[in-house]
Structure 1
Amino acid sequence: MITTNIPKLRQFYKIKAILFLSLIISTSSCAQLLQIVEQTPLSDLKLSQLDISNGLKGALDKGVEKQVTKLTAIDGFLQNELVKIVLPEELQIIDTKLRQIGLSSLADEGIKVLNRAAEDAVKEATPIFTDAIKNLTFSDAKNILMGNNTAATTYLESSTSTALYSKFNPVIQNSFEKVGATKVWSNIISKYNKIPFVKKVNPNLTDYTTRKTMDGVFKMIAVEELSIRTTLNSRSTPILKKVFALQDNR
């Protein structure tokens, strides 16, 4: 009769398993193993890397086309409370003082011309966004897809902010001249500085308006991204429906 040493046998299989695992790790890096694990759900859903990239590009294109285009219309900023440009906090006193002395219409005009300049500048945004969307990699796409509800917007913001500022700033400066903002604000500053006992101001609003315009653009793209992520009816193409189903099932 053959007797088996159970503890020794268990130790033998334990050592064998460790050696086998070591062999796997030696032939495939941790990053590769992780990639294999991450790719499994895609095959289950019959989605290729190209599908995912195209789906995310489609979502970004839709956000730009649907929401950013709205901002280029007359009152696209001014009548949209999400993005309307108001004076910076340190200049709110100007608005308040003008209204106190019966110059509400002048104060309103000052706000309007800032928003008109923003509406003008956003017309320059689409080509910059188009380039960023074209350069979206599969890695970018998957990170966006499985990220939070503003991951696509964050990608665009990080990819385009420098180019947008460079494009928007001179356009806004020129637009100030075109829509009469420079003249209006010269009048506002002159009126305000004549009020007794106020601290004199001489603000340069070009940089402020440029940055607020950019904020408004990304805010509206985020609105569309959230809609696509959370509302089935917003997924208007077959590829959007397929790709964002993967997000739903994460």
Structure 2
Amino acid sequence: MMGRVQFPRNARAIVLAAVALAVSLGLGACAEMSQILQSGAGTPGTSSQSGLSRAIKESLELSSTRAADLLSQTGGYQNSSLYRIRLPEPVQPIASRLRQFGLGGQVDQIEKLMNQGAERAAVEAKEVFIGAVRSMTIADAMGIVRGSNTAATDYFRQNTETQLRQKYLPIIQSNLQQIGFYNQYQQLLTAYKQLPLTNKPDLDLEQHVLTQSLNALFTQVGEEEKAIRKDPIGRGSSAIAAVFGR
């Protein structure tokens, strides 16, 4: 009977980390990962490393889309104490004055449309994240496993933010166009941007919502990732307990 293949300690550490990440997300790839651990495969240049990378990608795909699912549900932004999008800071004094004159309902409606636009746009994030994960190289995947607590989040932001901005903007614009004075606001904004003033505050609602919604998205992706790294056996998985027991 052929004995168990031995492999370098650093390669074993990488495999263990990948198994922990995969199992903590409840992946069916655990059996495959355990087989790699048993056989000692997964050293550079082997086909088993491709399987290992594939399992990591599946894990990250689940992790990243959880953030999109959370924020794209009804009230994902609007009802969140962390991620609710409010009017830009320079506009807040004006909003306060409007409330004093009994126009608080209009202010609330604007904020509601801002948040609903962000929630509608967040649906698009899943497809973009999945595409980014599936285009990862083996080196990318292994680097994430060995990286910092937000290595996956940093990877996603670097590789998806431009595409997400392109997908988000028309959805946010469509939602804000429901504001009664949207066209007049855009005309005023165009004139405002042409004023020869320094240190002008940014009053562009569309860009404000776009930036705030993406900041919230990547922050939540980071929270998902840190939670997995901090407590990989938090799901009470017997499989992962067995891996750490080894």
Aligned partners of 2:118 and 2:15: how far apart in 1?
A: 45
Aligned partners of 1:148 and 1:184: how far apart in 2?
A: 46
Q: Could you report, residue by residue, the CA deviation over 1:46-105 in whole angstroms, capped at 9, with x for unpaired residues?
A: 462335423432332222332211211211111112221112222221222222333222
Alignment coverage as a number of residue pairs: 194
* Alignment-derived partner of residue 194 in structure 2: none
**1:153, 1:218 within 8 Å by CA — same for their partners in 2?**
yes
What are the equivalent positions in structure 2 for 1:226-245 lying under 5 Å apart?
Answer: 226-231=226-231, 232-234=233-235, 241=240
* Alignment-derived partner of residue 157 in structure 1: 157
Paired residue secondary structure (2:219): helix
**1:110, 1:185 within 8 Å by CA — same for their partners in 2?**
no
* Alignment-derived partner of residue 195 in structure 1: none
**1:60, 1:152 within 8 Å by CA — same for their partners in 2?**
yes
The farther-off stretch of 86-95 and 124-133 is: 86-95
* Alignment-derived partner of residue 110 in structure 2: 110
The farther-off stretch of 89-98 and 216-225 is: 89-98
Q: Which amino acid aligns with 2:56?
A: L
Q: Which amino acid aligns with 1:211?
A: T
Aligned partners of 1:208 and 1:163: how far apart in 2?
A: 17
From the CA coordinates, give the structure whose radius of gyration is larger: 1
Normalised TM-score (structure 2): 0.67
Return the offset for 1:209: 0.9
- What 5-or-longer segments of structure 2 have no aligned partner? 1-7, 17-36, 43-48, 187-200
Q: Does 1:183 find its partner at 2:186?
A: no
Paired residue secondary structure (2:180): helix
Aligned partners of 1:74 and 1:119: how far apart in 2?
A: 7
Q: Could you report, residue by residue, the CA deviation over 1:90-123 in whole angstroms, capped at 9, with x for unpaired residues?
A: 2221222222333222222221110011111112
**1:59, 1:225 within 8 Å by CA — same for their partners in 2?**
no
Return the offset for 1:41: 3.9
The farther-off stretch of 208-217 and 98-107 is: 98-107
Paired residue secondary structure (1:124): helix
**1:109, 1:184 within 8 Å by CA — same for their partners in 2?**
no
**2:68, 2:122 within 8 Å by CA — same for their partners in 1?**
yes
Aligned partners of 2:78 and 2:128: how far apart in 1?
A: 23
Decide whether aligned partners of structure 1 residues 230 and 41 sit closer, same or farther in structure 2, where only a CA change above 3 A counts: closer
* Alignment-derived partner of residue 213 in structure 2: 213
Q: Which amino acid aligns with 1:183?
A: G
Decide whether aligned partners of structure 1 residues 148 and 211 sit closer, same or farther in structure 2, where only a CA change above 3 A counts: same
Q: Which amino acid aligns with 1:136?
A: M
Return the offset for 1:151: 1.0
Paired residue secondary structure (2:234): helix
Query: RMSD across aligned C-alpha pairs, in angstroms?
Result: 3.2
Decide whether aligned partners of structure 1 residues 119 and 139 sit closer, same or farther in structure 2, where only a CA change above 3 A counts: same
* Alignment-derived partner of residue 248 in structure 1: none
Return the offset for 1:235: 8.5
- What 5-or-longer segments of structure 1 have no aligned partner? 1-35, 190-200, 246-250
Aligned partners of 2:166 and 2:214: how far apart in 1?
A: 11
Decide whether aligned partners of structure 1 residues 97 and 186 sit closer, same or farther in structure 2, where only a CA change above 3 A counts: farther
Q: Does 1:120 find its partner at 2:117?
A: no
